[in-house]
Structures are given as C-alpha cells and as structure tokens.
Amino acid sequence: MTLETRGLHFSYNGRPVLAGLSLSLARGESVGILGVNGAGKSTLLRCLNRNLKPQKGAVLVEGRNLADLSGEEIARLLGYVPQNRFTDPLNVFDSVLLGRKPHIKWQASGRDLQVVAEVLAQMGLEKLAMRPVASLSGGEAQKVVIARALAQEPRMLLLDEPTSNLDLRNQLELMRLLGRVMKDKGIGAAVCLHDINLALRYMTRLVLLKEGGIKAILTPEQLSPELISEVYGVEVILAQVAGHRVVIPQEARGEPAEGGLDAKLDRETVGHDSN
C-alpha cells in the first residue's frame, strides 16, 4: 500500500505546524519519523489518520483521498496507536477485540475472535488473554495496544512513540516483534521516534522533520552527523559499535533548541482540546 501526502498544511490556532509537507511511503516500508519536539511528528501522524483534518493539502491512500473515506474505512486501512493512551477497564482479549470494531456490524463473528486469538499469539499475549489490562506491566500493556491495531488488519501501522515508556529490554523486544509481525503480514509502518538509535536499527527509511517541513528522506545508512546536528541542534558522533550504527551526542549548542519544551507543552494543550 502506498500512503502519500500532498502539500499538507496544518496550524494550531494560527501557528503552522506542518507547512506544505509532501511525502510518499511505499508498501511494506518501516519509516521512522524523526525531529525535535514540536517539529510536527505527531501532527503528521494524526493527519495521516484523519484524526486531524489538514487545512490545506491531501492525504492519499492508494490514490484515494482520505477525506472521501468513512472513519471505519480508514480504520480498516490504517492502524493508529496514539501516544496518549488510557488504560481501559477491559480484559486483554476484549481490549484487542476493539480492533475489530471497524469490521463488526452488530455482533463479533467467529472470524473476529479468530483474528484476535491469532494476534494475541503473535504478540505473545495468549497467556494474559483473560487478565485485566490495568493489571499488566507497561511493556505488556503496550503490546496490547499494538495487538489491537494489528487486529484491525490494517495495511499500514501508524505508531506514535511506541517505545517511549518502556525499559531497554521491552523497547528492543517490542521493535523486534513489530518487525517480525510486519514482515509476516506484509504491512508497513510509519513510526514517530525520539530514539535515533532505535530508528537506525529497526527502520528501513527515515524522514527528518524540521519546522513543519521535510529536511531529508534517506536510508539509515545515509544519515550523517551533520544532518542530525542540523535537525536536533546537537553535535553528535555516529559510530559503528558491535555491528550497529549508534549516535553519541556531544554538548548541546548554546542557543535553545527551536520548538523546544514550551512549544511542545503548548501544542499538547491545544491538541487535547481539539478532541
């Protein structure tokens, strides 16, 4: 499946977050979206899912304009996992079964249950199926949310900071599991990430955002220290350690980063209200 944006504009209360962003994601790719807080990563992802409607421009899914599709049609094409989540009071099975909502007319069918059970097995959650989500650890709960997105049987996943609350082990495990499931099912993903090292390790392509536009689109091998310091305002060294390319940050530059903490806080407040 291809996902394409054409001249996407989005502004919160007159402040532009995305300024004419055009991008094309090919089938089966895992695309890491990188950039500082406030660069528009989450906004881009939410526009891709029509959680936000861009003021100008269009999102095309296999050539069809997102604006012409129903919410359920979109949910059958794109599995979106937002950053701010609530722990629902359901058990794991029911929580994942929610992912079948776009397919369910009145009653969950046998096939719906089958899909859920298979996704639980793929994510290694079958032993927890009857446990309340609230009783799970952070890593397990995150897997439930991703399992729900997979149960939608989407052509592409949109993941907003899927690893941000996880410990080191769970971060690696989740990314590895995701990679395997995506390959099995032949689906792609667009993933907002803060951790450049995870992006270098698990993504097939990187999109670097700066000031609401695209700074660069490249493969992980093409990422250069100069580009990183231009996007993040931090001098870095890119080193090869034990077969992995890793980023080692040096001192931050003197001036405060563009779109720093204030910008992010503002954006989150506004974003919440728009619900």
Partner 1 sequence: MKASLAEPRGPDTGRSTADVIARYLSALKRRYLLMGALTVLLIALALQAVALGAYDLSPLKVLWALLGRAEGPQAAVIWNIRLPRIVAAVVTGWGLGLSGLATQTLLRNPLASPFTLGISHGAIFGAAFAIVFLGAGAVSASALHTAGPADFMFSGLYAITGLAFAGAMSATVVILILARLRKMSPSAVILAGVAMSSLFISGTILIQYFATEIEIASVVFWTFGDVARSSWGEILLLGLVTLAVTLYFLRRRWELNALLAGDDSAQGLGVSVTRLRLTGMFLATLATALANAFHGVIAFLGLLAPHIARRMVGGDHRFLVPLSGLVGALLLLAADTLGRLAVGSGTLPVGVLTSFMGAPLFLYLLLKDRP
Please identify, using beta-carbon distances, which residue of 143 and 210 lies nearer to partner 1: 143
Interaction of residue 13 with partner 1, rule CB under 8 A: no
- Contact between 1 and partner 1 by CB under 8 A: the answer reads no
Q: Which of 32, 38, 41, 46 binds partner 1 (CB under 8 A)?
A: 46
Q: How far is the CB of 188 from partner 1 (least distance, A)?
A: 16
> At 122, phi and psi to the nearest 5?
-60, -35
Residue 191 binds partner 1 (CB under 8 A): no
What is the phi-psi region of residue 101: left when phi exceeds 0, alpha when psi lies from -120 to 50, beta otherwise?
alpha
Count CA atoms closer than 13 A to 48's CA, side-chain side.
32
Do residues 116 and 185 lie in contact, with contact meaning Cβ atoms separated by under 8 Å? no
Query: C-alpha distances in angstroms, 42 versus 51, 83, 114, 214?
Result: 11, 8, 32, 14
Minimum gap (Å) between residue 97 Cβ and partner 1: 8
Q: Is 53 in the site for partner 1 (CB under 8 A)?
A: no
Q: Which residues pair with 21 in a beta bridge?
A: 8
Residue 36 phi, psi (nearest 5): -75, 170
Residue 11 found at the interface with partner 1 (CB under 8 A): no
When the beta carbons of 34 and 81 are compared against partner 1, the nearer one is 81
Q: Examine residue 67 and tell whether it contacts partner 1 (CB under 8 A).
A: no
Question: What is the Cα–Cα distance from 62 to 65, expressed in whole angstroms?
Answer: 8
**Residue 266 makes contact with partner 1 by CB under 8 A:** no
- Which of the ranges 56-64, 146-154, 185-193, 206-214 carries the binding residues for partner 1, by CB under 8 A? 146-154
C-alpha span between 97 and 104 (Å, rounded)? 10
CB of 89 to partner 1, least distance (A): 3
Does the footprint of partner 1 cover residue 125 (CB under 8 A)? yes
CA-to-CA distance for 121 and 65, rounded, in angstroms?
34
Residue 48's nearest CA partner among 23, 29, 70, 27 is 23
Among 7, 138, 186, 256, binds partner 1 (CB under 8 A): 138
Q: How many residues bind partner 1 (CB under 8 A)?
A: 64
Residues that bind partner 1 (CB under 8 A): 46, 49, 51, 70-76, 78-82, 84-86, 88-91, 93-95, 98-99, 101-102, 104, 113-114, 117-118, 120-130, 132, 137-140, 143, 145, 148-149, 152, 158, 167, 169-170, 173, 272-275
